[in-house]
Amino acid sequence: MNIFFVIFYQPIFNLLVWLYNILPGHDLGLAIIILTFIIRLVLYIPSKKSIKAQKELASIQPEIEKLKEKHKGNQEKMGPELMALYKEKKINPFASCLPLLIQLPFLFAIYKVFLDGLTKSDSLNALYSFVANPGPLNPLAFGFFNLADKSWVVAALAGIAQFWQSKMMMNKKQSSGLSGAVNSQMLYIMPVVTIIIGGQFPAGLTFYWLLTTLFSIAQQYIVLRGKEKKTGEVAS
């Protein structure tokens, strides 16, 4: 936990407070927006790889379903043929997982920053010597939005954004088969879970989740659009 505190929590917390100090009016909401952008920039490359890997896996889902149907109940035959399919399509099935694992410490650190760093009285003891102590942080953002309170509105917006993000990754061919049914269910279930959980936490944390989802949507659009253009150029 001490390593986590030094490597992840403390740098993110200090960056947030430093942004809060230098921004006009000490607007915590604006500081969170800039902080989110910086973190997404740091995680851009692993996120890009994860998006590409997810889309590639989605593109061969119909073929995977056919293999499952062909070798129903026979995992010994299913395994080698599935790996052969991955090799033929040049897809690493674990490529989408590793970047997500890299992002987990950042997500947990952000969670601790907004849940503990902005609410506990001794949280400012974690400041570096060169970061000025602003005293108690003003949770009022943009002059009207209290980030210390719970907000079902922001939670609902975060859920809608997550639905949009998941919808972008779905392939039209994925609507068939058991996997397609599961994906369709998760498309609606996860946003609902996000709303329920997000409504229980301070709005600052839910606001960050909304922002990082919106940045992810923008990155997905850029990555997938670039991939479609490249595929079109190759086809022509």
Tell me what pLDDT residue 174 has.
Answer: 46
The number of domains in the chain is 1
- Expressed as residue numbers, the domain containing 227 is 2-235
Quickly list H helices, the chain.
2-4, 10-22, 28-42, 44-59, 61-70, 75-89, 97-112, 152-169, 177-198, 203-235
The least confident of 124-128, 131-135, 166-170 is: 166-170
Tell me what pLDDT residue 38 has.
Answer: 92
pLDDT tens digits, 95-112? 667 666 777 888 888 888
Which of 20 and 232 is assigned the larger pLDDT? 20
pLDDT tens digits, 16-49? 999 999 998 889 999 999 999 998 888 887 777 7
Centroid of chain to Cα 53: 15
pTM of the model: 0.76
Q: How far apart are the first and last CA of the chain?
A: 54
**Going by C-beta distance under 8 Å and a sequence separation of 6 or more, which residues neighbour residue 86?**
92, 93
Tell me what pLDDT residue 233 has.
Answer: 47
